[in-house]
Amino acid sequence: MGRRIEWIGWAALLGFTFIFALPLIFLLLSSLKLPSKIFIQPPEWIPNPITLENYYQATKVIPFFLYMKNTIIISILSTIGTVLSCITPAYALAKMSFRGKHLLFGILLATMFLPYPVVMIPTYLIFAKLHWTGTFLPLIVPAFMGDAFSIFLLRQFFIRLPTELLDAARVDGANELQILGYIVLPLSKAVLATVAVLQFTFMWSDFLRPLLYLNDTHQYTISIGLQNYQAYHTTSWHLVLAGTVIFITPIFLIFWVAQRTFVSGLTLGSLNE
């Protein structure tokens, strides 16, 4: 009897998994169809012929590669900024002693939960005062001023490094910067990669901030540029779908290569210590 239930469970899981994967399969199949074949009734499930025409058109109708370049610039610079600016605060919160440390850590946790719409208006006004709206700066510069979640991740990792190791270096006359550079960071490559991967994906995907700050179409990132297929032609699905496939491919590749990195970062972030 147990056997039978096991089999039913298996079949249910596999069937459900297929349904779960269907949107991605359907996206890919549709994007490979001739535009005229996307909209026929009854539907054709497998594209015939398979064509890359939509992909070609999708990169021509809107300046797709320009949007991609913009997205890459913003994502890479803000990733560098986040990694650089989060290391020292995380180290201070993990391994240095100073007054108000617990309070500051509490504030760090609280800001992790702060919804962006709450601070959106004054933040916009700051950048408007600086005449930075309409440039990449509001998307890049804040990344150089620490990110609460990334600091938290790094702190969780640093705090587990044995204090004896650091003390031994101190006895040998190393200062804190040397300890950080020569002992802590070489041990932290994995967690630094996690922070970088998460930040890169976040910036690659971000929609609200580019929508707020980029008002010239030449500065668009892909996430807001995709909407242009709809503005110029009333929903050209064949182009939207092809553009979407290109848009998600880098994330897909990063995910494939760094799946463990993703997972370890997320679970480290959820641990309550």
Partner 1 sequence: MRKGRVDKLLPWLFLSPWLIGLVAFSLYPIFATLFYSFTRYDFFHPPQWVGIENYIKLVHDSVFWKSVGNTLYLTLIGVPLTLGFSFLVAIALNRPFRGVGFLRALYYLPSVLPPVAAAVIWAWVLNPEHGVVNNALTLVGIQGPNWFYDPNWSKPGLLLLMLWCSGYYIIIYLAGLQDIPKPLYEAAELDGASRIQSLWYITWPMLSSVTIFNLIVGLLGGLQYFTQAYVISTPNTAGVAVTGAPQGSLLFYAMQLYILAFKNLKMGTASAMAWILFLVSAIFVALLLRRHEWEGE
- The answer to whether 111 contacts partner 1 (rule: CB under 8 A) is yes
Q: Is 259 in the site for partner 1 (CB under 8 A)?
A: yes
Residue from 52, 126, 187, 253 touching partner 1 (CB under 8 A): that is 126
One-letter amino acid of 146: G
Give the interface size with partner 1 as a residue count (CB under 8 A): 84
Containing 189, the helix (H) or strand (E) segment is: helix 189-205
Q: How far apart are CA 219 and CA 207, in angstroms?
A: 13
**91 lines the binding site for partner 1 (CB under 8 A):** yes
Q: Out of 51, 80, 124, 174, name the contact with partner 1 by CB under 8 A.
A: 124
Return the number of the residue (42 or 49) whose C-beta is nearest partner 1: 42
Residues of span 44-83 touching partner 1 by CB under 8 A: none
Among 8, 11, 15, 17, interactor with partner 1 by CB under 8 A = 17
Quick check: 152 binds partner 1 (CB under 8 A)?
no
Q: Which of residues 223-252 bind partner 1 (CB under 8 A)?
A: 223-224, 226-227, 230-231, 234-235, 237, 240-241, 244, 247-248, 251-252
DSSP secondary structure, 131-160, as one string: T-TTSSHHHHGGGGG--HHHHHHHHHHHTT
Q: Is 267 in the site for partner 1 (CB under 8 A)?
A: yes
The DSSP output letter for 114 is -
Q: Which stretch binds partner 1 (CB under 8 A): 59-67, 166-174, 188-196, 261-269?
A: 261-269
Q: Does 213 bind partner 1 (CB under 8 A)?
A: no
Distance CA(62)–CA(9), nearest Å, equals: 47
Q: Does 205 engage in binding with partner 1 (CB under 8 A)?
A: yes
121 counts as binding partner 1 under rule CB under 8 A: yes
State the nearest-atom distance from the C-beta of 222 to partner 1, in Å: 8
Long-range contacts of 204-213 (CB under 8 A, 24+ apart): 204/71, 204/75, 204/250, 204/251, 205/251, 206/139, 208/116, 208/120, 209/138, 209/139, 210/74, 210/139, 212/120, 212/124, 212/133, 212/138, 213/124, 213/127, 213/132, 213/133, 213/134, 213/135, 213/138, 213/139
**Closer by beta carbon to partner 1, 34 or else 237:** 237
Binding partner 1 (rule: CB under 8 A), the pick from 4, 49, 102, 113 is 113
Give the number of other Cβ atoms within 10 Å of residue 130's Cβ: 12
Contacting partner 1 (CB under 8 A), which of 8, 50, 119, 168? 119
What is d(CA 55, CA 241) in angstroms, rounded to the nearest whole number?
9
User: Does residue 194 interact with partner 1 by CB under 8 A?
Assistant: no
Q: Does 145 bind partner 1 (CB under 8 A)?
A: yes
Instruction: Return the ∠ at Cα 133 (arms to 205 and 79), rounded to 5°.
Output: 40
- Residue 22 is a binding residue for partner 1 (CB under 8 A): yes
First to last CA, the chain: 43
